[in-house]
Amino acid sequence: GCVNMGEQTPAVAVASVAAAAAVAAAACVIAGRNIREYLAEEGSIEDAASKPAAPARPHAYTLENSVQVPLVGFGTAFFVDEVRRPELAYAAVATAIELGYRHIDTAMMYGCERQVGRVLGDYFQSGKLKREDIHITTKIAHPPASNYPTAKTQYMYDPKLSAYSGVLQEYYQSLENLGVGYVDLLLIHWPGVMRDGPVFPVPTAEAARTKRLEMWRALEYLYDKKLVRAIGVSNFTEEHLEQLLPCCAIPPMMNQIEVHPYLSQQSLVVYCQRRGIAITAYSPLASGGFKLIEHPTIVKIAESHGSSPAAVIFAWLLQRGIIIIPKSSSPERLKENLRAGSIKLTSDEMRLISALNCDRRSCPDPNLII
Catalytic residue among 38, 110, 171, 271: 110
Q: Which residues contact 40 (CB under 8 A, 6 or more apart)?
A: none
Q: DSSP H helical segments within the chain, as ranges? A: 35-42, 89-99, 113-126, 163-178, 205-224, 238-244, 266-274, 296-305, 309-318, 331-338, 347-354
**CA 188 to CA 252: how far, in whole Å?**
10
Nearest to 188 by CA among 237, 120, 119, 116: 237
The answer to whether 9 and 154 have CB atoms below 8 angstroms apart is yes
Q: Is-contact 201 246, C-beta < 8 A?
A: no
What is the C-alpha separation between 233 and 253, in angstroms, rounded?
A: 8
DSSP characters over 134-163: -EEEEEE----BTTBTT---GGGT-TTS-H
Query: What count of Cα atoms within 13 Å lies in the side-chain half-sphere of residue 56?
Result: 2
Answer whether 272's CB lies under 8 Å from 239's CB: no
Per the annotation, the verdict on 101 as an active-site residue is no
Active site residues per annotation: 110
